[in-house]
Chain A
Amino acid sequence: MSMVPTLLSVENLTKSYGGVHAMRGVTFDLRAGEILALIGPNGAGKSTCFNVLNGQIIPDSGRVRLLGEEITGKKPRVIWRMGVGRTFQITATFPTMTVRENVQVALVSHGGELFNLWSSTASHARDEAGRLLDLVGMGAYAERPCGELAYGDLKRLELAIALANQPKLLLMDEPTAGMAPRERVELMRLTARIAREQSIGVLFTEHDMDVVFEHADRILVLNRGSLIAEGSPEEVRGNTQVQAIYLGEGLVYDARHREGASA
Chain B
Amino acid sequence: MAFYVVQFLTGLASAASLFLVASGLSIIFGVTRIVNFAHGAFYMLGAYVAFTLTERFSGALGFWGGIVVAALAVAVIGVLVEMVLLRRIYHSPELFQLLATFGLTLMVEDLVVLIWGPDDLVGRRAPGFKGAIDFFGQNIPSYDLFLIALGPVVLGILWLLFQRTRWGILVRAATQDRDMVAALGVNQKWLFTSVFALGVFLAALGGALQIPRDAVNHAMDLRIIVEVFVVVVIGGLGSIIGAFVAAVLVSELNAFGILIFPKISIILVFLVMAVVLIVRPWGLFGKPEAPARRTPGLTVNPWRPLTTNERFAAIAALLVAAALPVLNNPYLLTVGSEIAIFVIFAASLHFLMSVGGLASFGHAAYFGLGSYGVALLATKAGLPMIVCLLLGPIVGLLGAAVFGFFAVQLSGVYFAMLTLAFAQIVWSIAFQWVSVTGGDNGILSVWPSSWVASPANFYWLSLGVAAFAVVILRIMVFSPFGFALRATRDSPLRSEAIGINSKRIQWTAFVIAGTVAGVAGALFAYLKGSVFPDNMGISLSVDALVMVLLGGVETVSGAVIGAIVYKALNIWLVSQTDLSKLVLGGFVVLIVVAFPKGIVGTLEALMHRRRKSSSSASPLLSSRIETAE
Contact = CB atoms under 8 A, between A and B. Distances in A.
Task: Please say whether the chains A and B touch (CB closer than 8 A).
Answer: yes
Interface string A43-80: 00000000000100000000000000000000111001
A148 B300 contact: yes
Contact of A116 (B480, B494, B627, B628): B480
Contact of B487 (A80, A81, A90, A105): A105
B177 interface: no
Contacts of B501: 77, 114
Interface stretch (B301-309, B440-448, B459-467): B301-309
A68 B495 CA distance: 26
Given A96-B303, A148-B620, A76 B497 contact: yes
Given A145-B301, A147-B622, A263-B627, A108 B480 contact: yes
Contact of A106 (B482, B498, B618, B629): B498
A148 B481 contact: no
Contact of B486 (A94, A115, A120): A94
A109 B484 contact: yes
A114 B494 contact: no
A95 B486 CA distance: 10
A91 interface: yes
Contacts of A98: 302
Given A119-B480, A120-B479, A263 B623 contact: yes
Interface string A84-101: 001010111111111001
Contact of A77 (B300, B500, B621): B500
A96 B627 contact: no
B499 A116 contact: no
B491 interface: yes
B481 A151 contact: no
Interface residues of A, number: 50
B624 A115 contact: no
Contacts of B618: 144, 148
Contacts of A122: 305, 478
B490 interface: yes
Contacts of A115: 480-481, 505, 508
A113 interface: yes
A205 interface: no
A160 B499 CA distance: 15
B603 interface: no
Contacts of B621: 148-150
Interface in B470-528: 475-476, 478-484, 486-487, 490-491, 493-501, 505, 508, 512
Contact of B496 (A77, A97, A108, A165): A77
B267 interface: no
A92 B629 contact: yes
B624 A81 contact: no
A1 B104 CA distance: 72
B194 interface: no
A1 to B, nearest CB: 30
B478 A148 contact: no
A94 B629 CA distance: 9
Contacts of B294: 95
Interface string B287-316: 000000010001111110100000000000
Given A80-B497, A81-B499, A105-B498, A120 B478 contact: yes
A116 B479 contact: yes
A98 B227 CA distance: 43
Given A95-B300, A95-B628, A148-B622, A108 B491 contact: no
B494 to A, nearest CB: 4
Contacts of B500: 77, 105, 109, 114
Contact of A114 (B302, B484, B626): B484
A124 B508 CA distance: 21
A92 B493 contact: yes
A81 B500 CA distance: 10
A114 B496 contact: no
A117 interface: yes
A164 interface: yes
Contact of A165 (B483, B499, B619, B623): B499
A109 B497 CA distance: 10
Contacts of A216: none
Interface string B585-629: 000000000000000000000000000000000111111111111
A163 B625 CA distance: 23
Contact of A97 (B479, B483, B620, B623): B483
Contact of A117 (B479, B497, B625): B479
B494 A92 contact: yes
A154 interface: yes
A164 B497 CA distance: 11
A17 interface: no
Interface in A161-196: 161, 164-165
A148 B483 contact: no
B13 to A, nearest CB: 40
Contacts of B486: 94, 96-97
A148 B487 CA distance: 17
Interface string A101-142: 100111011100111111111101000000000000000000
Given A91-B627, A147-B622, 9 more contacts: A77-B497, A95-B624, A96-B300, A97-B302, A101-B483, A116-B481, A117-B512, A148-B622, A164-B498
Q: Which 4 A-B pairs have the closest CB atoms?
A: A147-B300, A92-B494, A94-B490, A116-B480
24 contacts: A54-B497, A76-B497, A77-B498, A80-B498, A90-B627, A92-B628, A93-B490, A93-B494, A93-B628, A96-B298, A96-B303, A97-B302, A105-B487, A114-B500, A114-B501, A115-B481, A116-B479, A116-B480, A118-B476, A120-B305, A120-B475, A148-B622, A149-B624, A150-B624
Interface of B: 294, 298-303, 305, 475-476, 478-484, 486-487, 490-491, 493-501, 505, 508, 512, 554, 618-629
